[in-house]
Structure 1
């Protein structure tokens, strides 16, 4: 899941001078292009087959191409950037207000063309192929974990119908399931016992696949200097270090660590009307919860002891959650600072604001 973050439009106005702005709506087979000839004022709407996209832009003068940050957008951004064009990715919620009339490819391309030229708009950072590869491993691991959990819960429920109960935890289930199947052999037909044994084998195979992916992530951690750098931060492990770099993309796309926290959803959201602004609870996005364990797994481990929970958080689940989110935000700011400044983590380091001239 992508969310808008990074530089604002005012920072690229200089690069837009002399370059024509093109809105490109990408799809599986047919792409829609929208632009306006600044010399004649002609509105140009062109449909391009997928195989003809690179050929079309290879013949054009360098221009600014805007696309919606959807599936395949990062791939096309890298390809078009290699041709000398400037590419900007926009979040869907930024483009949606500019869609007028029926939603078609032509109106979407026009909305993208309008949205990219608005002042103050923020863009999605373009990820490299290596960063997307890391996210692919994390998403495969997430899928395997979901399958493992579903298979385990289903096995518990099926055996519970025959009176078998197990202690909490996956290890306890595996220790007792073989004995339970033997005890239930008089009640269960052979084909059912065989099917349940096959389900146990599937769960164990999923666990082995998860461990294999984690080993591959470990090799990637050793090969990437940025991942090794943030792995020095207390509470940051293998999954956190690999996922954080892949999700962040280019650290320079964020002005500060606080902006990175806001992009992750680790700050309270605000709603206002009638001159009153209310701050609601922080709502970490899906990427933060699943692909970025740094936001919750690490802080939860740090908050298990009363000493690290802090004042006012004992005996209150709500207060404890607030502390966890606060520590997650602090960890995210530290990760951004270490990555953006290209320096190793220093325990007890205090940053100083530059003094005004």
Structure 2
């Protein structure tokens, strides 16, 4: 059955809807209030609904799927190519309507549980940023009075009692009290971060997919929970290579006249997940006793940073294989093609 394509530009209170009435051929581009949005689609035949993957999109996608519609969430940069000239709600809805009819990789609609885990990651990431800002602020303020400590949080915690004692005689008490409060605030941030990580570990115990990929070297608590939540359905990706490309861990390409040039990694996809994968690969190279012959050979001929990214790419592909094929991680496993199968480039 051919589904009527519909483009929806979602917002806080007014949603813009664009489609062509199949019975009359009329081009419909009209605003719908938030309260009447679901009612408008509850009485319609199944449609192919396109939306940008922005704030609130997953919530509305789940509601529309429950009504029997097919929903395709798309990255904003993919939709932007179809927005011609002026940007407004009507033009955005039309651009989404054009984009949803094009072939392209859709963003998987996440469950509420997956979004909840990502919310924990975002909250933790924000707290870590606050903690880093607090530490740098303390260092900068103390450096103004000639007090400099060694690098690292442990060095700062060890040095700051003595520093505050030395400057207490020549600086106002209100400043000393404020610096002590700022230093004490680091402990509170540590406790908040630890509490979030404890909740993640509790979720890990109940999630089979997170437990499975946690066995992969370089995949810890943060990487495992973030990968499962961001990926959605692993089978939405055709291969591990496609998942690695989605994470931005493949070379960026430019070319003309039949010649293709490869550059650094594309850095597309989610920066947070890509950062976790690269940190995990770096940890494997630093701490692994036997990293394996593939890594050893690569280290002889390529820069260390290139080796780290290559290993991160391999970890991403391994994560996809474990989840897509629903089997445990096996060290040294070699994927073999069935006899008579032609290779696909």
Q: CA deviation at 1:129?
A: 0.9
User: Which residue among 274, 292, 316 is the counterpart of 2:257?
Assistant: 274
Matched, 1:187 2:170: yes
1:129-155 deviations in Å (ceiling 9; x for gaps) = 111111111111111111111110110
Contact 1:244 1:292 in 2 (8 A): no
In the alignment, which of 71, 95, 99 is matched to residue 111 of structure 1? Answer: 95
Deviation (angstroms), 1:276: 2.2
2:332 paired residue number: 348
- How many residue pairs match? The answer is 337
1:325 aligns with 2:309: yes
Task: Give the RMSD, CA atoms, in angstroms.
Answer: 1.8
TM-score normalised by structure 2 residue count: 0.93
For residue 144 of structure 2, what is the aligned residue in structure 1? 161
Larger mean CA deviation between 297-306 and 339-348 belongs to 297-306
- Select which of 188, 191, 201 maps to 1:205: 188
Give deviations 1:220-271, integer Å, cap 9, x for gaps: 1111111011111122111111111011111111000000000001000101
Equivalence for 2:282 = 300
Q: Which residues in structure 2 correspond to 1:18-167 (within 5 Å)? A: 18-118=2-102, 120-167=103-150
Distance 1:106 1:181 in 2: 60
Equivalent pair of 1:131/1:246 in contact (CA under 8 Å):
yes
Give, in whole Å, the separation in 2 of the partners of 1:95 and 1:291.
23
SS at the partner of 2:303? helix
Deviates further, 86-95 or 192-201:
86-95
1:313 matched residue in structure 2: 299
Q: Deviations over 1:92-111 (max 9, x none)?
A: 22212221231111111111
Residue matched to 1:261: 244
How far apart are residue 312 of structure 1 and its match? 6.2
- Going from structure 1 to structure 2, the CA distance change for 1:312 and 1:95 (only over 3 Å counts) comes to closer
In structure 1, the partner of 2:322 is 338
Deviation at 1:274, TM superposition (A): 3.1
Kept in 1: contact 2:121–2:226 (CA 8 A):
yes
Shift of residue 115, structure 1, vs aligned partner: 1.3
Q: Is the CA contact (8 Å cut-off) linking 1:89 and 1:124 kept in structure 2? A: yes
User: 1:138–1:291: 8 Å Cα contact kept in structure 2?
Assistant: no
Structure 2 spans left out of the alignment, 5+ residues? none
Q: What TM-score does the superposition give when structure 1 sets the normalisation length?
A: 0.90
